C-alpha cells in the first residue's frame, strides 16, 4: 500500500545553511500583527479547560504544552492509564475495532468531530462571509499556527505555514530551493514516496545529484549517523539538502535527527524532515535539533481530520524558499500597470486563498489533546506497547520481527513478516477475521501495527492470535482486500 526577512531581500543561494545570527523578528511580528486573537464569547471555537470530552476533567493540564510534557494527575492519581482510558472512551471506532493504524490515519475523538461540526454549524447559520464567521476564521487560523508551533516544540507562528498535508510541505521546500546541476540531495532507503519521489523528480527535471543511503532496521543510531556521514562525504556535488523521516514509515526506526542535522550543517547543507510519523507520536523540538524544515500532517498520530497539515520553515530561511504555487499572498505589492514586488519574508507566501476552517478547528482540538497528554508520556506508552508486541509476536512460529529491538531506535510503529504469506493478505485477514485495523508495507512484505497511547495489550494479543490462526489454517483466496485497488495504484513500494 502506498499511503501513500524583510521585503526586497535578494534571494540567497540554496547551497549552504543560512546563518542563525540573521534571524530577526520580522516574520514573527508581522504574522502576529495580522492574526491577533481577541477574546471571544461566541463562534465555532472557544478556549476550554482540558478534559476527556466526556465529563472526565483533568485538573491542572490546561495550557500545558511543553515539549516533553509530564504525566498529568487526576485527583492526585497518576494519569497514565486513566488518560488512555478516557481517550478510548471518546473514540467510537475503538469500540468495535482493534485500531492500530494511526500511522496511516488516526481515529477521531468525539471532541474533534464536535469541533468540526461547530464551525460548520456557524457557517450554516450565519454564512461563511459574515463578519462573525470571518472573525472566527481568523481566530482559528491564528490559534492553529500557535498550536502547531507548540506541537513542533516552540516554533513561532511566523514560521508555520498552513498546508493540506505533509506531502505539500515537502514539495514546497524541495521545489522552492531552486536545486539544479551541481547540487546534491541525500535521502534514505526507508523513505515514504512523498519524500523520495520529489527527490527523484528534482534529479530528472533539474539535473541535481541524488544519493540514497541504505539503512537497516536494526542499525544503531551510531551506525545510521556514520552511514549518512559517509554519503555526505561521498557526494560529488555541493550538498544542498537532506530529506529524511525522523521515524521510518516502513520499519518504525527512529533516526538520530540531532546528529544528522549537525553533520549536514557542518557540510553546508539543509535538512528537511518528513514528520508524518512523528507529530502526535513523540516530542518534537525544532529549536533543539536546529532542523531547517519540518512537515507534519493532522490526520495520523494527532488523530485530527484529513486534509490539513503544517510546514515549519526556520525564519531566516523563508526568503530562500520560493513559493511554487502562488496567489495574492505571494505579493508584497502589485498594481495593474506592471508594478510587482514579491513577498520574501512572510510564511503566508506559501499559502493560497481558501482556508479549510472546519478542519482547522478539528485539528486544534486534536493537537491540544496530545499536548495536554504530554508528548513524552504518549511516546513512552507507545514504545512500551511496542516492546510488548515484540515479546508477543516473537513467540509466534513463522513470524519475524522487522522493527528495531533497541529502545534507542524504537517507536510505536511495529512491523513483522509472516513466512509464506503475503503481507497484504495478512492485513486483509486481520481486518476481516478479527477487526484488527493495520496496514501492509510492500517494500518488506511486512505488516505494520501503529501502536498509539490509546491501544492496549489486548489489541496486540488479538492481532497475534489472528496471525496464529492464519498460519495454522491459511487465508481464503476470496478474502476482500483491506484497501480498494484505486488507493494502491501507482509505482513503487
- For residue 54, the model assigns a pLDDT of 36
Whole-number Å distance between alpha carbons of 311 and 295: 4
Report CA Rg, the chain: 23
Predicted confidence (pLDDT) per residue in 94-104, tens digit: 999 999 999 99
Residue 31 is inside which H or E element, if any? Answer: helix 26-34
CA–CA dist 368, 365 (Å, integer): 5
How many CB atoms within 10 Å of residue 287? 14
**Per-residue confidence (pLDDT) for residue 56, from 0 to 100:** 33
Element (H, E) at 267: none
Question: CA angle, 284 as apex, 282 and 287 as ends, to 5°?
Answer: 165
Q: Model confidence over 226-279: pLDDT tens digits? A: 999 999 998 999 999 999 999 999 999 999 999 999 999 999 999 999 999 999
Closest CA to 310 of 345, 279, 284: 279
Distance CA 119, CA 138 (A): 12
Show me where the domains of the chain are located.
140-370, 375-483
Contact call for residues 430 and 244 (beta carbons, < 8 A): no
Quick one: three-class SS letters along 384-422? HHHHHHHHHHCCCCCEEECCCCCCCCCCCEEEEEECCCC
Per-residue model confidence (pLDDT) at position 1: 38
Based on DSSP, count helices (H) and strands (E) in the chain, helices before strands: 14, 17
Q: The domain at 140-370 falls in which architecture?
A: 3-Layer(aba) Sandwich (3.40)
Residues of the chain short of pLDDT 70, as ranges, are 1-80, 486-493
User: Which three-class secondary structure state does DSSP give residue 113?
Assistant: helix
Dihedral (Cα; 394, 395, 398, 403), 10-degree rounding: -10
Q: Are 434 and 462 in contact (CB under 8 A)?
A: yes
Strand partners, 161: 311
Sheet holding 439-441, edge to edge: 399-401, 413-418, 446-450, 439-441
Spatial CA neighbour of 416 closest among 464, 344, 481, 476: 464
Bridge pairing between strands 436-437 and 98-99: parallel
> What does residue 74 show for φ and ψ, rounded to 5 degrees?
-120, 105
Q: Which residues contact 371 (CB under 8 A, 6 or more apart)?
A: 64, 65, 69, 147, 150, 151
State how far the Cα of 108 lies from the Cα of 103, in Å rounded to an integer. Answer: 13
Given CATH 3.90.1150.10, say whether it is the number of domain 375-483. yes
According to the model, what pLDDT value does residue 20 have?
39
DSSP tag of 109: P
What is d(CA 135, CA 122) in angstroms, rounded to the nearest whole number? 12
Amino acid at each position: 500500500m502506498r499511503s501513500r526577512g524583510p521585503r526586497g531581500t535578494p534571494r540567497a543561494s540554496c547551497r549552504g545553511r543560512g546563518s542563525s545570527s540573521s534571524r530577526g523578528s520580522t516574520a514573527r511580528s508581522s504574522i502576529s500583527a495580522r492574526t491577533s486573537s481577541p477574546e471571544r464569547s461566541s463562534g465555532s471555537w472557544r478556549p476550554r479547560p482540558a478534559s476527556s470530552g466526556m465529563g472526565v476533567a483533568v485538573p491542572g493540564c490546561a495550557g500545558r504544552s511543553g515539549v516533553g510534557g509530564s504525566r498529568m494527575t487526576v485527583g492526585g492519581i497518576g494519569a497514565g492509564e486513566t488518560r488512555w482510558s478516557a481517550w478510548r472512551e471518546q473514540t467510537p471506532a475503538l469500540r468495535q475495532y482493534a485500531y492500530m493504524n494511526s500511522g496511516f490515519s488516526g481515529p477521531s475523538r468525539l471532541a474533534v468531530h464536535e469541533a468540526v461540526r461547530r464551525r460548520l454549524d456557524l457557517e450554516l447559520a450565519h454564512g461563511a462571509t459574515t463578519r462573525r464567521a470571518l472573525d472566527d476564521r481568523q481566530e482559528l487560523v491564528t490559534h492553529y499556527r500557535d498550536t502547531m508551533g507548540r506541537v513542533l516544540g516552540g516554533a513561532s507562528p511566523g514560521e508555520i505555514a498552513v498546508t493540506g498535508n505533509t506531502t505539500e510541505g515537502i514539495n514546497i521546500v524541495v521545489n522552492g530551493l531552486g536545486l539544479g546541476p551541481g547540487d546534491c540531495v541525500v535521502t534514505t532507503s526507508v523513505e515514504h514516496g512523498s519524500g523520495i519521489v520529489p527527490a527523484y523528480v528534482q534529479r530528472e527535471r533539474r539535473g541535481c545529484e541524488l544519493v540514497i543511503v541504505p539503512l537497516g532496521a536494526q542499525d544503531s543510531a551510531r551506525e545510521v549517523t556514520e552511514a549518512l556521514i559517509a554519503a555526505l562525504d561521498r557526494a560529488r556535488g555541493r550538498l544542498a539538502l537532506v530529506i529524511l523521516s525522523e521515524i521510518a514509515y516502513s520499519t518504525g526506526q527512529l533516526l538520530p535527527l540531532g546528529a544528522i542535522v549537525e553533520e549536514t550543517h557542518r557540510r553546508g547543507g539543509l535538512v528537511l524532515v518528513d514528520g508524518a510519523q512523528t507529530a502526535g507520536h513523540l516530542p518534537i523540538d525544532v529549536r533543539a535539533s536546529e532542523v531547517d524544515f519540518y512537515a507534519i500532517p493532522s490526520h495520523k498520530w494527532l488523530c485530527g481530520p484529513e486534509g490539513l497539515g503544517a510546514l515549519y520553515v526556520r525564519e531566516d530561511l523563508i526568503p530562500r524558499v520560493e513559493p511554487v504555487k502562488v496567489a495574492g499572498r505571494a505579493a508584497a505589492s502589485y498594481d495593474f500597470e506592471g508594478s510587482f514586488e514579491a513577498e520574501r519574508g512572510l510564511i503566508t507566501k506559501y499559502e493560497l486563498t481558501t482556508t479549510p476552517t472546519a478542519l482547522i478547528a478539528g485539528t486544534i482540538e486534536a493537537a491540544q489533546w496530545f499536548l495536554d497528554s504530554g508528548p513524552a508520556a504518549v511516546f513512552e506508552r507507545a514504545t512500551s506497547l511496542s516492546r510488548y508486541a515484540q515479546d508477543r509476536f516473537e513467540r509466534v512460529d513463522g513470524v519475524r520481527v522487522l522493527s528495531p529491538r533497541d529502545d534507542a531506535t524504537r517507536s510505536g510503529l511495529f512491523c513483522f513478516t509472516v513466512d509464506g504469506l503475503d503481507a497484504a493478505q495478512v492485513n486483509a485477514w486481520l481486518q476481516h477475521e478479527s477487526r484488527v485495523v493495520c496496514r501492509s508495507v510492500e517494500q518488506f512484505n511486512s505488516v505494520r501495527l501503529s501502536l498509539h497511547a490509546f491501544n492496549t495489550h489486548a489489541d496486540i494479543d488479538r492481532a497475534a492470535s489472528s496471525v496464529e490462526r492464519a498460519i495454522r489454517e491459511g487465508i481464503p483466496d476470496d478474502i476482500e482486500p483491506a484497501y480498494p485497488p484505486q488507493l494502491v495504484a501507482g509505482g513503487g513500494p
